[in-house]
Amino acid sequence: MKKLLFSLVAAFLMLQLSAQQPNVSNPGFEQWAGTTPAGWTTSITGAITGVPIIGSFPVSFNFGAKSTDSHSGSFALKLQSKSLDLSLLGIPAITVPGIAQLGTAGSFSISIETIQELVSIDSTTTDMSELINNLDLDELSTFTNIFSKGEPFAMVPTAMKVWVKYLPPVGETDTMLVLLGAYKEGQTSMLLMGDMPDTYGYYAVTERLEDYTQLTVPIFYDEEDLTCDSLVIMFVSSSFMNAKNTELFIDDVSFEYDYLSVNSTERIKMNMFPNPATDYMVINPANQSEAYDIMVYDMNGKLLKSVEQLTGDTRLSVSDLAAGAYFLKLKQSGSELVRKFVVE
């Protein structure tokens, strides 16, 4: 009887835990509509306007394919860069890295003059501020339509996990990106244009991954409120400035939730000052008696320093950090809190 009761209680707790851990649509890429995984966008469509004689030139990239080379289940998503031959327009061919986004996206419309200006850019010598002043920003803003607004989501995860295989051409190096943003109503959902949202995840991979490897993408936030209205996820297979014929396989997206942290935001409190800082910061947790750990991360999620088993106030040196923005994580009694700070 005791074993039966324990099994029932354990099953109930597992159901409760799974109910509290939302996931995205089609996380294992098992459902497909043709070459498009359900719930995701793997294409970019639009038009180049002002083309002599024909007026408008349609543009379409479809980066995704259903692959039976999966980590689990029957299918995975395979991403690959695509090239567009614009020689008829007097423009060099454009190679765009494979992009997959959670949710749906629209199309863009841009003039041939702006495209010619953009493809002629030499990023090593161009004054970007001068270039921006010369371009039609209203026209460029139509590019924002190709970025998905994500899908409705209520709770910010503390980390995202995903299984990937990453195969740049043999003998070449490349970089893939995983980007995640959690947005409040009214915030603009764009991960590749403009600033990162307050709550985001970022992960870059440069090494070749021959076998499926699980990546853990930390999610950084600087608010106690871990609720959100939408979640945006983007996978990019290759470098934008020099896209290669790199293959990226994606499968089994999942999330971690630190429920102690989420449920204890009214209990775990911390002040830190001065912010911005120059030489040091004082970390002042509300609970002065319990030991706590401190970790400092850069904006890419790289751990820069950590100090463990602290009590009371802590004077943390930041003089060794370059000017810029960072995240400080405080872990105490199984809970954690993350705050952004600036070094001047």
User: Quick one: which of 187, 176, 177 has its CA closest to 231?
Assistant: 187
Q: How far is CA 71 from CA 75, 93, 248, in A?
A: 8, 34, 13
Question: Is pLDDT at 4 greater than 80 in this prediction?
Answer: no
- Kindly state whether residue 49 falls inside one of the protein's structural domains: yes
- Kindly state whether residue 186 falls inside one of the protein's structural domains: yes
pLDDT at 260: 39
pLDDT at 326: 85
- Kindly state whether residue 100 falls inside one of the protein's structural domains: yes
Mean pLDDT over residues 183-202, rounded? 74
pLDDT at 138: 67
Looking at 204, 223, 257, which one is the last position of a domain? 257
Q: For residues 247 and 281, state if they share a domain.
A: no
- Kindly state whether residue 167 falls inside one of the protein's structural domains: yes
Mean pLDDT over each residue of the chain, to the nearest integer: 81
Q: For residues 135 and 231, state if they share a domain.
A: yes
How far is Cα 203 from Cα 338, in angstroms, rounded to an integer? 18
Q: For residues 249 and 268, state if they share a domain.
A: no
Tens of pLDDT, residue by residue over 177-186, are 999 999 888 7
332, two tokens: 């105490």
pLDDT band with cut points at 50, 70 and 90 for residue 30: very high
Give 138 or 274, the one with higher predicted confidence: 274
Give 215 or 90, the one with higher predicted confidence: 215
Question: Is pLDDT at 9 greater than 50 in this prediction?
Answer: no
pLDDT at 66: 97
| Contact by Cβ (8 Å): 57, 30 | no
Q: For residues 110 and 147, state if they share a domain.
A: yes
How far is Cα 121 from Cα 135, in angstroms, rounded to an integer? 12
- Kindly state whether residue 157 falls inside one of the protein's structural domains: yes
Q: How far is CA 316 from CA 100, 295, 296, 319, 337, in A?
A: 40, 11, 10, 9, 17
Looking at 203, 228, 257, which one is the last position of a domain? 257
Looking at 257, 287, 305, which one is the last position of a domain? 257
Domain carrying residue 157 = 32-257
Phi-psi region of 55 (alpha: psi -120 to 50; beta: other; left: phi over 0): left
- Kindly state whether residue 24 falls inside one of the protein's structural domains: no
- Kindly state whether residue 290 falls inside one of the protein's structural domains: yes
Q: For residues 66 and 120, state if they share a domain.
A: yes
CB count within 10 Å of CB 53 equals 4
- Kindly state whether residue 4 falls inside one of the protein's structural domains: no
CATH (domain of 62): 2.60.120.890
